[in-house]
Amino acid sequence: MRTRPYAESRSGSGLIVERGRLVERRAPDGTIAIDIGHLGGWLRRGLLLIILMMIIGAVGGFAFATLMKPSYTVSTDILVDPSNLRVVQDDLFPSSGQNTSQMFNVDSKVRVLTSRNVLERVVSRLGLANDEEFVDTTPSFLASLLGKTGPTGRPEDIAVMSLAEHIKATRDERSFVVTLAVSSEDPQKAIRISDAIAKAFQEELALAESEGAARTAESLNGRLAVLQEEVHKAEEAVASFKNEHGLQSSGNELASTREMTDLNALKVAAQGRLIEARARYEALVSDAADPNGNTAVLQSETIAALKAQQALLVQRGADVLNYGPRHPERLALERQLADIKQAIDAETKRIVEAAKTELDQAEATLAALTARAEDSRSVVATDTGAEVRLRALERDAAAKASVYEAYLARAREITERERLDTTNIRVISTAVPPTKRSWPPSTSISIAAGALCGLALGALFVILGGLARDMRRVQRSVP
């Protein structure tokens, strides 16, 4: 390969293939040819330097693996179910069934997992503000060389920022499982931090829902006072309107309307009783002359007893009829029959008079009910217009009362919701002690990596040195 000197090759004119070799485009000034032979010669002459650099790199890798503070990483798998536990029928925080919304919900909770609120809980709970691993105000060696100082501020804030650098949360693309990785110099400390973060994460989500429910309940309670006052005013308006217009209601019907209905029913019943009383009286009057055919009279127990005595005397009188008109037994029998006849007539008269009294009472009752019904009808006609306005006021009061009761029930339900933890967060894989450190790599890998770096640097130095020597030789040979 032919190339220009270094100063000219920065704006080289491109590579071409010439006679099976890769060379640069020829320039009119001095050029040199670089091929595998040149490279091999340079590498052979600098073999000791390359080996030395490999040794230095291997020693550096060993020192790095030995002197660096080890770091151990533990992992915890957390199932972040976007659907909260269904505890109440109409929950304040409903779960969305759409996949996109669920993913956004889980991603938001992953951010909460590594949020400052969660980390502050962990720092406070584990006392990390007093741990030198997380609160080290001494600047590093490189920072000291650059003139930088260590972190300043409250130990708690420094510990939170340092802890944020020791954790990492990732979500599996095809599930709702979040993997929390925690690194620390002590594997047991890493496990404690991982467990504390998982617990603080659950507490933070529950607190967020509780605070949201508390804010909603507070807003509803503030609105309840206004609604209660509106209901009170509406009910007072209904009562005042009733008093002004003399309206009294029973159920959904005005008292005047119900009274008129009752009076009409009583009037119909009174008419029926009047008809019965008149028919009974007329029957008694028409048959007064013939008690034997009077059904109403025969129904009297007194008359029935008298007629029984009369029949018995008549039966006995059949034997004394043959006696003379002045015979004592005949005279006694005739007096007894006359007394019974007089008693029957008196009882019949009493029954007729009682029927007449009943008829008069039925007529008077019907007349009184008719008058009251007419008065009630006029009152109902007057109350009809006021009733329309009253119904409107009652509907308004009922609507406001319904809204107030709904708000009151919802406020009580949300107040109870504050005490419930419905977050569906589960730790499905707890952190276990790691079998090896996560940083730095193992000693063998560090030595191998250092040796490879030394090999690369040594070869680079040798090639650059050989190229510089050849370029100086060419420059000296150019007239």
Taking only the tens place, the pLDDT of each residue in 331-362 is 777 777 777 788 877 777 888 888 888 888 88
Q: How many angstroms separate the Cα of 397 from the Cα of each of 104, 253, 380? A: 45, 17, 24
Q: What whole-number distance in Å separates Cα of residue 319 and Cα of residue 235?
A: 92
Q: What is the 3-state secondary structure (H, E, C) of the chain?
A: CEECCHHHHCCCCCEEEECCEEEECCCCCCCEECCHHHHHHHHHHCHHHHHHHHHHHHHHHHHHHHHCCCEEEEEEEEEECCCCCCCCCCCCCCCCCCHHHHHHHHHHHHHHHCCHHHHHHHHHHHCHHHCCCCCCCCCCHHHHHCCCCCCCCCHHHHHHHHHHHCEEEEECCCCCEEEEEEEECCHHHHHHHHHHHHHHHHHHHHHHHHHHHHHHHHHHHHHHHHHHHHHHHHHHHHHHHHHHHCCCEECCEEHHHHHHHHHHHHHHHHHHHHHHHHHHHHHHHHCCCCHHHCHHHHCCHHHHHHHHHHHHHHHHHHHHCCCCCCCHHHHHHHHHHHHHHHHHHHHHHHHHHHHHHHHHHHHHHHHHHHHHHHHHHHHHHHHHHHHHHHHHHHHHHHHHHHHHHHHHHHHHHHHHHCCCCCCCEEEEECCCCCCCCCECCCHHHHHHHHHHHHHHHHHHHHHHHHHHHHHHHHHHHCC
How many CB atoms are located within 10 Å of the residue 284 CB?
A: 21
pLDDT for the residue numbered 58: 82
pLDDT for the residue numbered 192: 94
Closest among 187, 151, 184, 155 to 167, alpha carbons compared: 184
Q: What whole-number distance in Å separates Cα of residue 99 and Cα of residue 110?
A: 16
How many CB atoms are located within 10 Å of the residue 404 CB?
A: 20
Closest among 392, 402, 404 to 238, alpha carbons compared: 392
Q: What whole-number distance in Å separates Cα of residue 62 and Cα of residue 443?
A: 6
Contact predicate 329/323, CB 8 Å: yes
pLDDT < 70: residue spans in the chain: 1-35, 38, 83-99, 137-151, 245-259, 287-300, 315-327, 329-330, 377-385, 417-422, 439, 474, 476-479
Give tens-digit pLDDT for 188-230: 999 999 999 999 998 888 888 877 777 877 888 888 888 889 8
Name the CATH topology of 71-214+424-429.
Answer: Bacterial polysaccharide co-polymerase-like (3.30.1890)
Displacement of CA 286 from its chain's centroid (Å) = 86
Contact predicate 457/450, CB 8 Å: no
pLDDT for the residue numbered 2: 41
Q: What whole-number distance in Å separates Cα of residue 436 and Cα of residue 433?
A: 9
Find where tokens 């595998």 sit: 36
Contact predicate 129/159, CB 8 Å: yes
Residues of the chain with CATH 3.30.1890: 71-214+424-429
Q: What whole-number distance in Å separates Cα of residue 79 and Cα of residue 62?
A: 41
